[in-house]
Amino acid sequence: MLKYLEQPDRNNYQTLVEQYKEKIAHLEYRIAYLERIAKISQTLNSTLDLDMLLRSITQVATELTNTEACSILLYDNDTGELKFIPATASTVAEKLTGIPVPIDDSIAGWVFKKGRPMLIRDVTADPRWNKQVDEVSKFRTRSILGVPLKIKQQTIGVLELLNKQDELGFTQDDIQIATTLASQVAVAIENARLWRDLQKAYEELSELDRLKSDFVNLASHELRTPLAVILGYASFLRDEVSGQASQQLEIVLSSAIKLRNLIDDMTNLRHIKTRQIELSVEIFSMRELVQDVLAEFKSLMRAKSLRLKTAFLNGDDPVKIEADRQKIYLVIANLISNAIKFTPENGAIFVGLARKGQQITIRVADTGIGIDEQQQNKIFEDFYQIEPSMTRRFEGLGIGLSIVKGMVEIHHGHITVESVPGKGSQFTVTLPISIEL
Ligand code: ADP
């Protein structure tokens, strides 16, 4: 018992103090290390500048491990070799950039293949050491600590720390520091790669979009003129001839009209998407407009024996509205054309007009095939068609409703759909009586 109460002798006491001092110094060093790592993580999350990140990581790596240099090698899928990447702002790094290192018979290659750290205290005694690298860089390598750069279990390269500056050589701590920093480097490289791929995909997409726009522009422009000639001559000849020839010309004419409508649709969609749309606002009667549209589709409805029902407010109310007449015409024409297209023979179409406060609603309903609930939002997207185009029974590009929606929205209005599959659909367009421009 007494033994423990005795004063420790002076020597022992001194040793204990030394040991504590050492422990404190080590802890201080660990804290500084953790602070640096935390800083790097912060930078990693806030920047996509890979050069800057690698530079700061390699600098921290050499400082924390007390080494002379740090280099990063990445695996090149095309050549099957490792290559130095510029990770420090030094002339040595510049000279090394792009230099290939074989996977077999090299220290970095071993680390890469095995996916494990490797420590070489004296490179001159190791047959795998590649002298040529030193010859190119004019750097004299003595010792190497190599750790793998890993992303989700896959090794993408190697981080090397060169020439430990103190006599004891590399320690377990150095391996830990290098491994932690290597994981930061791997994440930074992966982020930069993903970002670069994303940028590339975006550029390709923009280019494709531009090409598509140019094509639509050119095609619609180049097609319009000959089509106008066909339309002109066909209608002139139809009026001149009689009998079977007249019927055949009618077919030519209706095909040419379909083609013109397709071109108009493509041009309109492009204008809506590029927001190059100009409104030519006037005051007109909505009732007259709907009647004009119905007159255009009369023969089509008759051909399918469709009954037409209308409800145009009370009496002769013209239902005046201030809007772009041509564009609203297109909206109603598209809805009625769809109603006819998707309603089997002997069905019915309903067109109604109503006014509520400062708004007008136009309803186009049919007793057609209907649209199931999941599809009801999608039909307003560009080129969306419920039936796949190859097996379709119906004609069309699948852009009519996206144009309709675009045109309605430029007028500060909105469009909704209600439908029961097998029973029919109803589209309701709501427009303000006066468009505020
Ligand atoms: P398109 O008619 O040229 O295919 P739209 O954009 O006008 O293109 O319509 C998109 C799709 O919405 C159509 O292919 C069709 O599947 C569906 N659809 C539109 N209107 C109706 C309707 N009245 N009845 C049933 N389905 C419809």
Which residue's CA is minimally distant from atom 25 of ligand 1? 370
98 and 161 both lie in a single domain:
yes
- Select from 301, 340, 342 the residue to mutate for testing ligand 1; criterion: most ligand atoms less than 8 Å from CB: 342
Ligand 1 centroid – CA 379 distance (Å) = 6
User: Three-state SS across the chain?
Assistant: CHHHHCCCCHHHHHHHHHHHHHHHHHHHHHHHHHHHHHHHHHHHHHCCCHHHHHHHHHHHHHHHHCEEEEEEEEEECCCCEEEEECCCCCHHHHHHCCCEECCCCCHHHHHHHHCCCEEECCHHHCCCCCHHHHHHHCCCCCCEEEEEEEECCEEEEEEEEEEECCCCCCCHHHHHHHHHHHHHHHHHHHHHHHHHHHHHHHHHHHHHHHHHHHHHHHHHHHHHHHHHHHHHHHHHHHHHCCCHHHHHHHHHHHHHHHHHHHHHHHHHHHHHHCCCCCCCEEEEEHHHHHHHHHHHHHHHHHHCCCEEEEEECCCCCCCEEEEEHHHHHHHHHHHHHHHHHCCCCCCEEEEEEEEECCEEEEEEEECCCCCCHHHCCHHHCCCCCCCCHHHCCCCCCCCHHHHHHHHHHHCCCEEEEEEECCCEEEEEEEEECECCC
Instruction: Give the end of a domain, one of 246, 273, 300.
Output: 273
22 and 123 both lie in a single domain:
yes
**Closest atom of ligand 1 relative to the 386 alpha carbon:** 16
In a domain, 307, yes or no: yes
Distances (CA, A) of 35 to 255, 385, 424: 75, 57, 67
Instruction: Say which CATH number the domain at 205 has.
Output: 1.10.287
In a domain, 437, yes or no: no
In a domain, 221, yes or no: yes
At how many degrees (to 10) do helices 10-46 and 50-65 cross? Answer: 170
311 and 230 both lie in a single domain:
no
Number of domains comprising the chain: 3
286 and 383 both lie in a single domain:
yes
Q: pLDDT averaged over consecutive 10-residue blocks of the chain (437 residues)?
A: 55 83 83 76 70 81 88 92 80 76 92 95 88 84 94 92 88 89 86 87 89 79 88 90 87 88 83 82 94 92 95 79 93 95 96 92 97 93 75 75 93 96 97 81
In a domain, 334, yes or no: yes
**Closest atom of ligand 1 relative to the 380 alpha carbon:** 6
Residue 196: phi and psi, rounded to 5, are: -65, -45
Residue among 338, 322, 319 nearest 330 (CA): 338
Ligand 1 centroid – CA 368 distance (Å) = 11
Which residue's CA is minimally distant from atom 13 of ligand 1? 385
Q: Which two tokens stand for residue 200?
A: 């590339």
Binding-site residues, ligand 1, Cβ < 6 A: 338-339, 342, 366, 368-371, 379, 384-386, 396-401, 425
Residues in the chain: 437
378 and 303 both lie in a single domain:
yes
In a domain, 122, yes or no: yes
Sign of CA dihedral 210, 213, 215, 221: negative
**Closest atom of ligand 1 relative to the 427 alpha carbon:** 23
Which tens digits make up the pLDDT trace of 288-330?
A: 999 999 998 998 999 999 999 999 876 677 889 999 999 999 9
Instruction: Say which CATH number the domain at 34 has.
Output: 3.30.450.40
Q: Which two tokens stand for residue 201?
A: 């995909």
In a domain, 371, yes or no: yes
Residue 84: phi and psi, rounded to 5, are: -70, 140
79 and 221 both lie in a single domain:
no
Ligand 1 centroid – CA 342 distance (Å) = 7
Ligand 1 centroid – CA 35 distance (Å) = 61
| Residue 306: per-residue pLDDT | 97
| Residue 391: per-residue pLDDT | 59
C-alpha 18/C-alpha 397 separation (Å) is: 84
Asked if residues 345 and 315 have their Cβ atoms less than 8 Å apart, the reply is no
Ligand 1 centroid – CA 360 distance (Å) = 23
C-alpha 246/C-alpha 237 separation (Å) is: 8
| Residue 1: per-residue pLDDT | 47
30 and 152 both lie in a single domain:
yes
**Closest atom of ligand 1 relative to the 369 alpha carbon:** 25
In a domain, 428, yes or no: yes
Instruction: Give the end of a domain, one of 143, 177, 195.
Output: 195
Residue among 294, 372, 369 nearest 335 (CA): 294
Range of the domain at 324: 282-432
Ligand 1 centroid – CA 227 distance (Å) = 26
206 and 176 both lie in a single domain:
no
Instruction: Give the end of a domain, one of 147, 168, 195.
Output: 195
**Closest atom of ligand 1 relative to the 368 alpha carbon:** 24
In a domain, 175, yes or no: yes
142 and 257 both lie in a single domain:
no
44 and 146 both lie in a single domain:
yes
Which residue's CA is minimally distant from atom 19 of ligand 1? 338
328 and 341 both lie in a single domain:
yes
**Closest atom of ligand 1 relative to the 385 alpha carbon:** 14
177 and 209 both lie in a single domain:
no
Name residue 281's beta-bridge partners.
324
Q: Which two tokens stand for residue 132?
A: 């040529």
Instruction: Say which CATH number the domain at 364 has.
Output: 3.30.565.10
